[in-house]
Structure 1
Amino acid sequence: MKVNCPNCKKQIVWSTDNEFRPFCSERCKLIDLGDWAEENHKISQGPQGVQELSEEMLDALEDQFLQNNKFFVESE
């Protein structure tokens, strides 16, 4: 299965042989880490309130996450 590197968008093969996945290289991995360290990426808000999640809610969240993050989906 091929995925795009989150940093440079280069297509790479999703494989256990790639120690930098989902990135294409150590360079892209370190660039992303640096962006987090410099707070270029951040979670803008904390939790707004405590809400118990049902199994249906968790399933819906998982489906939404997998649709938006195709590199986590295993090839068929």
Structure 2
Amino acid sequence: MSCPICGEDTVIRFRPFCSKRCADIDLAKWLNGSYAVPSQREENLDTDVTEGETEQSRPH
């Protein structure tokens, strides 16, 4: 199996990566939004607020 970041052979300790560096690079891509999981449905976030619910009525 090869590392999905650099293509080198994987190391059991860091599998599926070859090193901590490549594992950290992958994690950073998830955290900064480079990777994204697509939603199965389209929704309008404005319609998720129920009638009568306002920003003031939400707990802080």
Q: TM-score range by the shorter chain?
A: 0.5 to 0.7
| TM-score (normalised: structure 2) | 0.60
User: Comparing both chains, which one has the higher relative contact order based on Cα–Cα distances under 8 Å and sequence gaps of 6 or more?
Assistant: 1
| TM-score (normalised: structure 1) | 0.48
* Structure 2 stretches lacking a partner, 5+ long: 42-60
Larger proportion of strand: 1
Q: Within the alignment, does 1:26 sit opposite 2:20 as a pair?
A: yes
RMSD of aligned Cα (Å): 1.4
* Structure 1 stretches lacking a partner, 5+ long: 49-76
- What percent of counterpart residues are identical? 39
**Which 4+ stretches in 1 moved above 2 angstroms?**
none
